[in-house]
Structure 1
Amino acid sequence: MTSILDQYEQASQSTQRVKTPAEPMISSGYINMQLDDNVPMFSKQKMKLSPTDLITHAAVSSDNLVLAMANGRLFRLDLKAPDCETEIHYTKFVQANSKLTGLFLDPLGYHLLMAFAAKTKDGYPELVYLHQKSMKLKSVSKSRSYEVTEVGWNSENTSSTTTGPILLGTSQGHILETELEANSDRMFTASEQYWKQIFDIGKGQDTPITGIQFHRVGSTSKYFIFVTTPTRLYQFIGHAIVTDDKPSLQSVFYAYLTIPETGFQEIPSTLKYSKLQFFFDTNNKPKTFAWLTEPGIFYGQLDPTSQQNSNSLVTQGSLINYPSGPDGKESAPLSFVLTEFHAVLMYSDRVKVVSLLNQELVHEDIFPEVHGKLKTIIRDVIKRTIWVFTDKTVYRYKVIREERNLWRIYSDKEEFDLAKQYCQNNPAFLDMINVKQAELLFSKGEYKSSAEVFAETQRSFETICLKFLECDQIDALKVYLTKRLQSLTSEDKTLISMIVIWMTELYLSQLGLLRRTGKENSVEYKVIQTDLEQFLAQPKVADCMQHVKSVIYDLMSSHGDKQNLLKLTIMNEDHENVVAQYIYRKNYLGAINTLQSLKKPELFYQFAPVLMEESPKHFVNALISQGARLNPAKLLPAFLSCQNDATHVSEVTRYLEFMLQHFNVKNMAIHNYLLTLYAEHDHLALMRYLAREGQNISLVNFDVHYALRLCREKNLSEACVNLSALLGLWESAVELALQVDVALAKSVANMPEDDEMQKQLWLNIAEHVITKNQDLKEAMRFLEECPHIKIEDILPFFSDVVTIDHFREPICQSLQEYNNQIEETKAEIEEATKSAEYVRAEIHSFRNRSVRVCVTAECCLCHITLLLRPFYLFPCGHNFHSDCLTGEIMPILSQARRNQLNELQTQLRLRTNIELSTETSTGLPYREVLKNEIDDIVASECIFCGEYMINCIDKPFIADEDWDRVMKEWE
């Protein structure tokens, strides 16, 4: 249960805590919220320790706590094992007339040094060493001439048995270098590896050293050493001699032995003490330092790698004033520790926390007198904890998010990048910083930079736009709109559309103003034009343009900016408008080139009437370049609408001939239109076309009836002859051909495949020719050209005055041919008779043929003795049981043959012997007839040598359904 005193202390702490001003409520687009929490930044906790006497000195390092008490005892506690505390009576190991002046614990908590001063003149100072695991103190023998006031530990030492090289500061201003090693064989007592004085700050005067620190610069042999006195801060920089990874720091001071004292910072002070503190980053490298003096705390950043000033490592050094006390005066604290952003000041009755950035008091704790006066404050550099010691109690401070207010401080100091770094990604904080930065840039006239920052805020869109419009900063407004556009998502379609339209209007207005003033070729115009093109090319703008392009087109048209209008249509792939713009400007070749590059057939069909009319040659070239991508049938309306002059006809014909020749177009409308052009303008080309199409009406690609009607209208007789013949109107074709040329009629007469039709056509030709001129020689040529016509066929065409003597020779020749035909028929009959007699003889010889079967012969299917059951023998030598062959042949028979075989077997099995013995009309018993029919089905051929085996050549040996089973058997 908490004691009354503890409750009073907690109440005092809460009432004395400095209240930081509350942040105003945010109203910049975010939901109103309190920006900070109520958890205190610094809060102390009383440790449950019970010292046996008043505390005089304390040291904490790496969770190892050491207290020196007024009763001459040393209290030690490992905070990781709080039940294992120890006490040592240290006065037994030192002279009686000495007093403890300092307690120094190395960063790892292994090595403890206790400094003693003599109470009387006949005494001497002492330095005592104690190891963490030892209960026995050992006096450092060579230290009796020096009163040690400060120890500079080696921060790179990791050994638990040796301190490594360390520096000691004395009350006379001497700087000593030594190394202490604990000997485990003698209860971890110390022995000096070496002991030497390396520098004297006092130059013979008593100048007590109040602080000393040394650190290596990176991984080099370069070291820097900070030493403080009550009024001065010294910096020593130089290279140490490193042996076995241990530096000898004496060489650092060599350069300072022969030069005047200039490398120090002096601050006048009446105090007899001062304090030097370092803050280390997460890599245990010194980052900042602070030096307590009477006027204030001298604070600065450390930059060991800086090359600007080789004599000083301090950057951004400043003096931090102390906060006012209860009496309104600023008094120096007794001690302090340094955190990353604050200095924790210790007075006799209170602890104050001051910001290192704005020097404001952020926290204050008052300690009741009942716990005694504050003795010291210590920061464990390894564990990063803060400890406060009074006479009777020990407190530990907990630091919670000490960087929480840094964003506000840096923002007030106009260091906005740092403010954003420490705003903890809080959108409300970040928005406040950006607003303040943007307003500052605007007030300085840096409008474009201000616009970029304004775009990242939640300020009203309209307010910011009006702000730039009022001061006529169009370029800055465009920057703001561009940034806002980039931050929008695809869901903000309305705002995106508005910004795109507005920015386009701004660009067009600027370009229009420059054109009106004659500056179209100026650098400014080119820059704005380039910016407009880049703006329109942005993906987000391109997506939006699909919805608002009509508005943008209207804007560009209203500004008379045809060039950008054309570019925009091309950029948006609004191909219809691109081509339309070219045609509107009568740039037909540009329109054709655009169509060729786009390769969009629908646009060719759309603009074909205009382009074919205005530029037929170039347009047909473009059509030919597209090849099969275009459907010629869809271009027919454009071809039909053209003027019927020679140029257009020639180009259309050229395109259609190209498509027919290279892509074998079979569309009837295309062929009909081409045939029409031929009929009207090129008769020779028409005849070549009809010849290419051939005389097979099922293979021609045009409408034959339409072609015949057209050719009749144009009086193209020769073409009509070909078309009539194509339709099978042979007599009409021959009749029409006789009007043109007899040779043409003869060629038509040879076309029919029917001999009778050929004969009839030739007779028609012969009748026409003979009736006309009664030319006997011509009639004889007809007999030679057509073998189907005989002399007797043409005799009726001659007049009665012609005597038979004129036809004696043809008639005799005809009779001789008939006689030859009769002789050939007789020879064929005799040859057929001989063949029939030979077949009958072969059949008779087969009836008496026999085959010898051995007793050991086996069935080729079941491999059982053949003579056990009825069997079949084949001339090829294969033998099969009748039932085996029937079972093997059954699956391969057709369904009809299978049904027939089953029916025959059933009749043979069910019929009685009397019925089976009955003779049929052939003279054979009915049984023999059934068996012969069964044999014809089953044994028509050998199953191994016949057609069945040939048909099974592509059949797999193993069926799909049996594959798994066979694979298992093979395994």
Structure 2
Amino acid sequence: MMQSNQNGIFVKIGHDFKKDLRVNKLGTVKKLEVSNGELVIIQSQPNSPCIRMNVSQTTRDRPGELAVGLTSKDELERVHVSPCGRHAILSSREGDNFYINLRSNTVYPVRKIKGTITAVAWNPDIGNAETGHILLGTNKGIMIETSITSTGRENFVKEYQWSVIDREQSISDIYLFLTNDDDPKQSRWLLVACIPGRLFVIQATIDTSPRSNYVGSTSLQAGWVAMPEKELNIFGAFFKQRDPFSLKSQEGSLSCSRLRLHADGKTPDVYKFVWLGSAGFTVGTLHLQGENIRSIIKEERTVEHRRVEGSIEWPISLSLTEYHVLVLFPSRLTALSYYTGTVVYEDVWQRDFGEGIDLSFDATSQIHWLCTKNALLKYKPNDETRYVWKVYLERGDFARALAIARERKSMDADAFELVLRRQADKYISDKNYGAAAEILANSSESFETLVLRLIIDDDRKKTGLRTLLDKKLEQLRENDDRMKKDTLFMWLLEMQLSELGEARKEMNGVGGNSNEGIEKVERLTRQMHAFLMRKNVQETVQKLKGAIYRLMQNHADLDSQLFVANLLKDYETMLRIRTGKDQHREALGTLVSVGSAELFYQFSPLLLPFIPSPLIEALKKCASVRPQKMIPILCAVSDEKSADILLSYVEWSISFPSAPQSLHNIFISLLAKMHPTRLLGYLESQGKDVSGVRYSMDHAIRTAKHHDVKRCVVFLYCVAEMWSEATNIALNEMSDIKLGKRIAEWMDSCLNDDLGGLIQINSTVSIETRRAIWLSIARAMIESGEEVGKCLYVLTESKDAIKIQDLLPLLPEFTRMEELKDPLVACLKEHSTKISSLQQRMKDASETADEMRTMSEKMKKRVTMVRATDVCESCRCSLCTRTFYAFACKHLFHRDCLEREMKHFISEEESKRLEMLVEKERRLLAELEYEDRKGNKGYSNQEKEELAIELSSKISDIIGRECPLCSNMAIEQMDVPFFTDEQFKAECDSWSF
């Protein structure tokens, strides 16, 4: 095996037939065909005219030498292998044809088809079991449609007489393409056929739905026996066209007529072709999805045959790659550029290989196989695009040049940069700065150099500069230089803000507010918003939000600043902007949606003067806002317009029992300032008990005094039990004797609440205070000129707080006695009645004390009789066998039984204490018994006996307090269940089977 230079456009590997491929019976090789790793060679060897081998990289089988039933004068002329590498058709010089199943290496004669098959159009939907519908072209210009099974049987054979070619013209090559199979009954197909001098391209609509000649039993029984057979051929539509589209060239022999196709690796449904003719070869493209027949095929150029010493050097065969045409000559292989026709590669093999015979291309492995007399050579493309980018660049096809240069960037970085610069220069010369910037952004040239090319003060160049910066920003990743990323972002934002500001200025200028100006502003705004919302700048926007805000403030662009704040959920900035733009309701909507108490505290004072009612309603609905913190803030900015609404919010806040004292104090302040007439009603609603009011008494008094609400001051003094001060204001400052009397009556009612019968429990009002207050009331009445009789009635109203003798010095000097008679008599009678009542009460108390003393003496002498036959109420054993307890109700218990019974009535803590006392007593009695047995009696034993008595007394206090059967303690247990829920469930479960 021989291998060529690895750096060439094609790498060659040579195999000797006998040494490397182990072909034993080798005659004169005539044709070679390779497809999907299956290689078939035909030779002039009667016993084994066909050699088949698998040359794929995964498997390498020993060559199979296939015998074909030929006459002695006949030999194989042509071989055709399907693209899938499963089927092959052999054709002889005399017109006999054979089918090879390459899976089983079995040869089958095709008896229904006669004539040398020079071309086969394989079906794109070919399967492994059979060939499907295929077209065969013969050396007589006949087209044959057939389908061959894997056993070599022809399903049908249909010959087409094609009127557009002469009878004796041979079919060089044919290809079939299925271009549209959406509807099987109307599939679009394309046929490309090559004959010497002409290249046909034919479109047809073909019904490819399944067909069969089967006749059912029902039809047979009905008499439909003579129905004609249904034709199975489908490609007849191709040959009904009288004048199909074709390309023409100078006619020549069959050996100078070839057509080779190669799929375009970049564009689907596009094939490159090379068409060999007598004048040279033509290259072009085949667009399967062309709109019309003339747009399907396109000729690029024709390269004439090379002349050597005046004579044409005729090629033997040719092949095609994506970028080159490979031409086989007797002693060499030449590769010409598909685009320029110049020779870029030439391989002249050594003489002992023999002359070149045939050239075949395997599309699966992208290897070109060349057969000589004694060797088999294969050529594989190796970086064949190394010069193609230059061709595209010179032709101005920058897209393809750039695509190829990008693929080879690791091998030739300068080529990539050159293409970028040339393309950018072209765009700049065309003043397409945006496109130039997109190209330059991919260049490795220094950033400063690129910017200087686009930084000229021109609107179109500004667009190019912005595009360049944008592309550079997109190329940066998270781990790249943060400062560079921040700088690019701020630069881009500055440019967009400037452009947006200029557009707004133009819109507001002469002829402003035009549709065109408005649309431009809206478009620029959308562009900037999309820029700020990009995923790759989100972190930068968050990090530089302060700088972004300042930049937008410099451009006086509050709308953009508001958008950024909304994007970052920066609600504080949003609210500040909205309140600054007098968008108070929108600001309130933001506050409500966010629900942040801190934002409410911060911005509610700014909203209260403008939208007081909606703000207060929002505050009531926001559970996180604390009224005790919010109300003082609002009070500082309230005015006459919002005061009443603020007052309603405070009133709503204090309606909750948990409202703190500070809110009540604020409510008092607001009421005293705005609605002093409502203050007394609120104070009365809080009650008259100073310990029960929810406001600060000192604050309330100071506020009422400050706003000169005297009735409220009097009420507060009374609640605070400052009777003298309250009476002084009522009589001296308000001259309201009735109010003074009500104060005195309130004071007396408090005194009665503190008196139980005749015994004073906790009086906060001294007798001297009552006497002084009632005297001041009487003095005020006398000084006001009231009648003496009404003045003396105060004696009754005061409930003996003052006496007639207290009033006499206050009466005028010339008061007549007749006016004093009735009051004096009534006063004496009342005193007499009270003295009698007091005497009766003292007598009743003395009798009650005597009865209690008698009952006590009887109780001391009462005894309980215990008989020897009495038993314990708990264990029903004899009572006298051990220590027992006898209750006055006649129930008797042993002490230990009583301890057990009383555990149901005492608390857990007392139960533990009882157990501890019983244990101590037990140990102590055991020690005493031990001492008695030893005969030791002394002072220590006496102490232990006293301690035992004390323990027994404590135990009795716990268990002997009440009878466990009939006392109040036992009666209270009537409604207690016998079992808890858990005990009852457990008891029920214990009875289940």
Work out whether the TM-score is over 0.5: yes
Equivalents in 2 of 1:680, 1:229: separation in Å?
Answer: 113
Shift of 1:366: 2.3
Shift of 1:952: 9.9
Does residue 250 of structure 2 align to residue 268 of structure 1? yes
Structure 1 residues 832-851: aligned runs within 5 Å: 847-848=864-865
Who is 1:497 aligned against? 490
Structure 1 residues 154-553: aligned runs within 5 Å: 154=123, 156-159=125-128, 163-179=131-147, 195-200=157-162, 205-219=167-181, 220=184, 222=187, 223-238=189-204, 252-253=235-236, 256=239, 260-273=242-255, 274-279=257-262, 287-309=271-293, 314-319=296-301, 321=303, 331-357=313-339, 359=341, 361-381=343-363, 385-399=367-381, 413-415=395-397, 423-424=406-407, 436-455=422-441, 460-468=446-454, 469=456, 471-473=458-460, 474-478=462-466, 480-481=468-469, 491=482, 492-512=485-505, 518-535=510-527, 537=529, 538-539=532-533, 540=537, 543=542, 546-549=545-548, 551-552=550-551
Equivalents in 1 of 2:568, 2:268: separation in Å?
Answer: 59
Who is 1:767 aligned against? 775
User: Structure 1's 934 and 399: CA in aligned 2 closer, same or farther, altered over 3 A?
Assistant: same
Q: Secondary structure at the match of 2:140?
A: coil
Who is 2:79 aligned against? 103
Q: Which amino acid aligns with 2:173?
A: G
User: Structure 1's 356 and 953: CA in aligned 2 closer, same or farther, altered over 3 A?
Assistant: farther
Does residue 110 of structure 2 align to residue 127 of structure 1? no
User: Structure 1's 148 and 451: CA in aligned 2 closer, same or farther, altered over 3 A?
Assistant: closer
User: Structure 1's 243 and 525: CA in aligned 2 closer, same or farther, altered over 3 A?
Assistant: closer
Equivalents in 2 of 1:940, 1:46: separation in Å?
Answer: 123
Does residue 29 of structure 2 align to residue 56 of structure 1? yes
Which of residues 834, 839, 849 is equivalent to 1:822? 839
User: Structure 1's 798 and 917: CA in aligned 2 closer, same or farther, altered over 3 A?
Assistant: farther
Report the RMSD for the aligned CA atoms in angstroms.
5.6
User: Structure 1's 706 and 486: CA in aligned 2 closer, same or farther, altered over 3 A?
Assistant: same
Shift of 1:811: 1.8
Does residue 761 of structure 2 align to residue 785 of structure 1? no
Q: Which amino acid aligns with 2:199?
A: L
Shift of 1:228: 2.0
Q: Is the 8 A contact 2:192 2:199 kept in 1?
A: yes
Shift of 1:574: 8.7
Shift of 1:764: 2.3
My pick for the range that moved more, 663-672 or 485-494, is: 663-672
Shift of 1:389: 1.0
Who is 1:23 aligned against? none
Who is 2:119 aligned against? 150
Q: Is the 8 A contact 1:737 1:744 kept in 2?
A: yes
Shift of 1:390: 0.9
- Which structure ranks higher in relative contact order (CA pairs < 8 Å, sequence separation ≥ 6)? 1
Q: Is the 8 A contact 1:320 1:356 kept in 2?
A: no
Equivalents in 1 of 2:627, 2:164: separation in Å?
Answer: 106
Measured against aligned partners, the alpha-carbon deviations of 1:379-438 in whole angstroms (never above 9, x if no partner) come to 235565432111111123334566787766656554555566664596978876665544
Shift of 1:942: 7.3
User: Structure 1's 367 and 496: CA in aligned 2 closer, same or farther, altered over 3 A?
Assistant: same
Structure 1 residues 718-733: aligned runs within 5 Å: 718-733=711-726
My pick for the range that moved more, 201-210 or 374-383, is: 201-210
Who is 1:893 aligned against? 910
Who is 1:76 aligned against? 52
Equivalents in 2 of 1:681, 1:203: separation in Å?
Answer: 114
Q: Which amino acid aligns with 2:351?
A: E
User: Structure 1's 867 and 670: CA in aligned 2 closer, same or farther, altered over 3 A?
Assistant: closer
User: Structure 1's 285 and 304: CA in aligned 2 closer, same or farther, altered over 3 A?
Assistant: closer
Who is 1:85 aligned against? 63
Equivalents in 2 of 1:768, 1:782: separation in Å?
Answer: 11
Q: Secondary structure at the match of 2:161?
A: strand
Q: Which amino acid aligns with 2:794?
A: F
Q: Secondary structure at the match of 1:98?
A: coil
Shift of 1:781: 3.3
Shift of 1:714: 7.4
Q: Is the 8 A contact 1:177 1:196 kept in 2?
A: yes
User: Structure 1's 399 and 569: CA in aligned 2 closer, same or farther, altered over 3 A?
Assistant: closer
Q: TM-score, normalised by structure 2?
A: 0.72
Equivalents in 1 of 2:262, 2:443: separation in Å?
Answer: 36
Q: Is the 8 A contact 2:731 2:777 kept in 1?
A: no
Who is 1:737 aligned against? 730
Q: Secondary structure at the match of 1:734?
A: helix
User: Structure 1's 530 and 209: CA in aligned 2 closer, same or farther, altered over 3 A?
Assistant: closer
Who is 2:219 aligned against? none
Q: Is the 8 A contact 1:345 1:353 kept in 2?
A: yes
Q: Is the 8 A contact 2:500 2:525 kept in 1?
A: no
My pick for the range that moved more, 131-140 or 717-726, is: 131-140
Q: Secondary structure at the match of 1:847?
A: coil
Measured against aligned partners, the alpha-carbon deviations of 1:270-325 in whole angstroms (never above 9, x if no partner) come to 4442223344699999955443223444444445554423xx68333434537969
Equivalents in 2 of 1:371, 1:475: separation in Å?
Answer: 64
Q: Which amino acid aligns with 2:21?
A: L
Who is 1:22 aligned against? none
Q: Is the 8 A contact 2:281 2:305 kept in 1?
A: no
Q: Secondary structure at the match of 1:521?
A: coil
Equivalents in 2 of 1:567, 1:902: separation in Å?
Answer: 82
Q: Is the 8 A contact 1:149 1:170 kept in 2?
A: yes
Equivalents in 2 of 1:254, 1:834: separation in Å?
Answer: 141
Q: Is the 8 A contact 1:766 1:779 kept in 2?
A: no
Equivalents in 1 of 2:810, 2:523: separation in Å?
Answer: 100
User: Structure 1's 782 and 314: CA in aligned 2 closer, same or farther, altered over 3 A?
Assistant: same
Measured against aligned partners, the alpha-carbon deviations of 1:127-151 in whole angstroms (never above 9, x if no partner) come to 355555888866655656x344334
Q: Is the 8 A contact 2:879 2:892 kept in 1?
A: no
Q: Which amino acid aligns with 2:831?
A: S
Q: Is the 8 A contact 2:884 2:892 kept in 1?
A: no
Q: Which amino acid aligns with 1:53?
A: L
Equivalents in 2 of 1:409, 1:241: separation in Å?
Answer: 44
Q: Secondary structure at the match of 1:910?
A: helix
My pick for the range that moved more, 868-877 or 821-830, is: 868-877
Measured against aligned partners, the alpha-carbon deviations of 1:313-350 in whole angstroms (never above 9, x if no partner) come to 83334345379699899855311233445433222222
Measured against aligned partners, the alpha-carbon deviations of 1:86-142 in whole angstroms (never above 9, x if no partner) come to 43565xx4333334322334445555544333xxxxxx5443555558888666556
Equivalents in 2 of 1:198, 1:711: separation in Å?
Answer: 121
Q: Which amino acid aligns with 1:337?
A: S
Equivalents in 2 of 1:925, 1:250: separation in Å?
Answer: 133
Q: Number of aligned pairs?
A: 886
Shift of 1:548: 2.3
Who is 2:15 aligned against? 46
Equivalents in 2 of 1:819, 1:393: separation in Å?
Answer: 157
Q: Which amino acid aligns with 2:380?
A: K
Shift of 1:175: 2.5
Q: Secondary structure at the match of 2:730?
A: helix
Which of residues 4, 14, 34 is equivalent to 2:5? 14
User: Structure 1's 155 and 535: CA in aligned 2 closer, same or farther, altered over 3 A?
Assistant: closer
Q: Is the 8 A contact 2:789 2:823 kept in 1?
A: no
Q: Which amino acid aligns with 1:934?
A: I
User: Structure 1's 331 and 337: CA in aligned 2 closer, same or farther, altered over 3 A?
Assistant: same
Equivalents in 1 of 2:286, 2:344: separation in Å?
Answer: 25
Q: Is the 8 A contact 1:42 1:363 kept in 2?
A: no
